[in-house]
Amino acid sequence: MKTIIPKFLALVLSILFLGASASHAAEKIRVVVKPAEPFAFEENGVLKGYSVDLWKKIAAASGFEFETRVVDTVPELLEAVKSGAADVGVGAISITPDREKLMDFSHPFFKSGLQVMARSKGEAGAFTAFRALWNRNVAEVVGVLLLAVFLVSHVLWMVERKINAESFPEGYVRGVWESVWWSIATLISGGCENKAPVGVAGRLVAVVWMLGGIGLTSYITATLASAMTVNTLTAEVSGLSDLRGTRVGTIAGSSAQSLLEKSGFNVTGYATIDEAAAALQRGEVTGVVYDSPLLRYFLSENPAAKLSLVGPLFDLQDYGFPMPLGSPLRKQINSALLDLQVAGVTGKLETDWFEEPAAE
């Protein structure tokens, strides 16, 4: 009796284990996909791309059946994987230390890095330069200048109109107009021909205006130069350091946005590369920082965009397939991925989807 019970229990456990395994095998793996050309995207209702093709080959080699669900953002994909609502994530998902604390990743299957996309040199024409002057700082300078001219002109007219009516007539409209003319001419050239104050008070006003005009002129020049610098940078960006102090675009929720914000950049997130590129063309951002292969693919598909990649790659990254922590699929996926890499399948996929294979 003592030997029968353990054998019976072992038989029951074996049946339960086999039943659970069969049940698990029958379940479809839930795959969540974030479109990011050329790694994952829909065309005529069919999912395709480098990552999608690679995942299909892994699934075929592992005997997986799977169902897919498309999400709009990287945070949505990561949340689905982290919460267990999805078994695998497919796209251009960077493996980062922060993400590895929340989920597991497959072995890396693609080497990437961030790069800057900017307007091509010579694309900043006269209209763009003119538009760069329309900002709050320039408006404030114009306001200060008009107020200063208004006040000085009125004070000068009031002290000169009785003793110097020839230069500053007593009539308000004509007198103030002549005074405004003198103020502007003095500010620009340091004096006004055939018109000058003759009274002590008038000359004191003139001295204050001429001395103050030096500082005001310098202030105006500096402000206008600053406004034009942003426009010049847009056409002459050579790398990430040139984006300091300007507005930078990237993809919302991406690891690039996190890095830029931690580094103190003024960042605006966009839903897609197309939206970020459009903002760059309109001059709303000085540059777009994102994954180099995705930017390269965008430019190859949009040659008329008059945009280009500048500077070297930085913050080098690896792409992988994210899974929930402790996923039982990880070992099987990694084994199939390594077999495909050794067989040269991943290299062929890179050749098919990119102009040249990614560096090993």
| All structural domains of the chain | 4-109+320-353 (3.40.190.10), 118-122+238-315 (3.40.190.10), 128-235 (1.10.287.70)
Whether 43 shows a pLDDT value over 50: the answer reads yes
What pLDDT shows up at residue 22? 42
Q: Which residue has the higher pLDDT, 26 or 353?
A: 353
With a cut of 60, say whether residue 72 has pLDDT above it. Answer: yes
Q: Give residue-wise pLDDT tens across range 123-158.
A: 444 445 555 555 566 677 778 878 888 888 888 888
pLDDT of 205 reads 80
The reported pLDDT for the residue numbered 184 is 80
Is the pLDDT assigned to residue 13 strictly greater than 60? no
Of all residues in the chain, the percent with pLDDT exceeding 90 is 44
Point out the least confidently predicted range of 43-47, 133-137, 203-207: 133-137
List C-alpha distances in Å: 91 to 33, 39, 57, 73, 127: 6, 6, 15, 11, 39
Residues 6+ apart with CB under 8 A from 55: 31, 88, 90, 321
Q: Which of 87, 107, 90 is nearest to 324 (CA)?
A: 87
Q: Under a CB-based contact definition with an 8 Å cutoff, are residues 116 and 239 in contact?
A: yes
pLDDT at 92 over 70: yes
Of 137-146, 272-281, 287-296, the range with the lowest mean pLDDT is 137-146
Model confidence band, residue 3 (pLDDT cutoffs 50, 70, 90)? low
Find the mean pLDDT for residues 14-19: 47
- Among residues of the chain, what percentage have pLDDT more than 70? 79
Q: What is the mean pLDDT of the chain?
A: 82
Lowest mean pLDDT among 203-207, 272-276, 336-340: 203-207
Looking at residue 2, its pLDDT comes to 53
Stretch 234-238: mean pLDDT, rounded? 63
pLDDT of residue 218: 73
Q: What is the model's pLDDT at position 16? A: 47
Can you list the pairs that 250-256 forms with residues at least 24 positions away whose Cβ atoms lie under 8 Å? 250/276, 250/288, 250/289, 250/290, 251/74, 251/276, 251/290, 252/73, 253/73, 253/74, 253/75, 254/74, 254/94, 254/290, 254/291, 255/94, 255/96, 255/99, 255/317, 256/114, 256/289, 256/290, 256/291, 256/315
Task: Burial-class residue 34 by CB neighbours within 10 Å (0-12, 13-18, 19+).
Answer: buried
Q: How sure is the predictor about 178, in pLDDT bands with cuts at 50, 70 and 90?
A: confident
**pLDDT value for 126:** 47
